[in-house]
Every structure is written in structure tokens, then in C-alpha cells.
């Protein structure tokens, strides 16, 4: 059985892995998350997920399986990252208002030279918003570290009128695909801890 290291400090990703009974250690990594010029969103999230896993392996050495993941929100093909400030968040939310957008999440596994990456796309529709509710939402503190300036697993759920695809991917880790990748690398899900 291979040991797993999550290349992230994200509490959401930790909770999702715990939800499917995976034994792991969390090791945060810091990489440049700037999109390359004209980089398509799907390539961007896949690259970041892989770079996180690789960076963690460079830190900790070969042997364990390293899991990196990244999530981005796209509207009309444009990447919506984390908002820099209140005005940026309000602008993002107003662009999402009453429209459908895509949430892309990639999960990458690296063990030595063996690498695998999968990207999941979920369609999310927002109800119509006004500027006042966007500003109220900003002041909850929730959107400040979220791609697209909202969290579906928190207070931002009230904006979502419809979703087609993987809920867990929108939160930060597509669980079905992650479980399949983990098992292909010899990392079991529903792992019972030793007693």
C-alpha cells in the first residue's frame, strides 16, 4: 500500500479526502499560479495540479504518492481567479449573475516518474444578483480566497440555481475520479485505520 501526501493546505481538500476514508499527510506547497499567455483554462488547471504534486515530491523525495489539485472558474473561456479586493469580487459575481459558468478542477498524482492527471468540468448557473448582495457576501469573508469569488460549500450556495456535474469538484476535489486515480496508484479508499 502506497502512502499519500496531499500537496495542499486547503481544508476543503483535506475534508474531501477524509470523507472517502483516505489516509494521507498534508504538505502545503507554494507555486506560481499565473496563467501563461493565451493558456486555455483546462490546460492551466491541469498544469497547476501537476506542478503542485511535482513540487511536493521535490520537497519530500520519491516513494509516496503525491496528490495535487487545482480549481478554476471560467466564464466565456476567461479564467476567473481569486479576487484581489472587494471591487474585484463584486465585478466577478456580477459577471456570473444570471448566467452559466464552468468550474474546472484537475487532480494529479505523481509517484516517481509515474504521473496521471484528470480534469473535471461542472456547469454551474447563478440566479440574478445585485451589487448590494455581492458586497454583503464579500464582507462575510468567504469569497476572499475562492476562485470566482464564491464557495459553493458555504454561504455562496444561495447563488446557485442549477448545477450539472460533480459537486465535490466544485468544492475542490472530484471524488469519483480521485478515488479511481488513487486506486490505480495503490492507494485505497475507505481505508480502515489500524487498531
* Active site residue ranges: 70
CA dihedral defined by 165, 153, 35, 179, rounded to 10 degrees?
-60
CB-based contacts of 143, cutoff 8 Å, min separation 6:
83, 89, 93, 137, 149, 150, 151, 156
- Best CA proximity match to 86, nearest among 127, 34, 142: 142
> Distance of alpha carbon 164 from its chain centroid, rounded?
17
CA dihedral defined by 145, 146, 151, 152, rounded to 10 degrees?
-160
Q: What is the widest separation between alpha-carbon atoms in the chain?
A: 54
Amino acid at each position: 500500500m502506497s502512502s499519500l501526501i496531499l500537496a495542499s493546505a486547503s481544508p476543503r481538500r483535506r475534508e474531501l479526502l477524509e470523507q472517502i476514508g483516505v489516509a494521507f499527510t498534508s504538505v502545503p506547497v507554494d507555486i506560481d499560479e499565473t496563467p501563461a499567455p493565451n493558456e486555455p483554462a483546462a490546460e492551466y488547471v491541469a498544469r497547476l495540479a501537476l506542478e503542485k504534486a511535482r513540487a511536493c515530491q521535490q520537497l519530500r523525495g520519491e516513494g509516496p504518492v503525491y496528490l495535487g489539485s487545482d480549481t478554476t472558474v471560467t466564464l466565456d473561456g476567461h479564467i476567473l481567479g481569486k479576487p484581489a479586493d472587494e471591487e474585484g469580487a463584486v465585478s466577478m459575481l456580477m459577471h456570473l449573475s444570471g448566467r452559466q459558468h464552468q468550474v474546472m478542477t484537475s487532480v494529479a498524482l505523481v509517484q516517481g516518474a509515474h504521473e496521471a492527471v484528470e480534469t473535471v468540468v461542472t456547469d454551474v448557473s447563478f440566479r440574478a444578483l445585485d451589487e448590494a448582495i455581492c458586497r454583503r457576501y464579500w464582507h462575510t469573508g468567504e469569497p476572499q480566497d475562492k476562485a470566482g469569488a464564491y464557495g459553493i460549500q458555504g454561504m455562496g450556495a444561495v447563488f446557485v440555481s442549477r448545477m450539472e456535474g460533480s459537486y465535490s469538484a466544485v468544492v475542490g476535489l472530484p471524488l469519483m475520479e480521485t478515488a479511481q486515480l488513487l486506486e490505480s496508484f495503490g492507494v485505497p479508499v475507505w481505508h480502515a485505520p489500524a487498531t
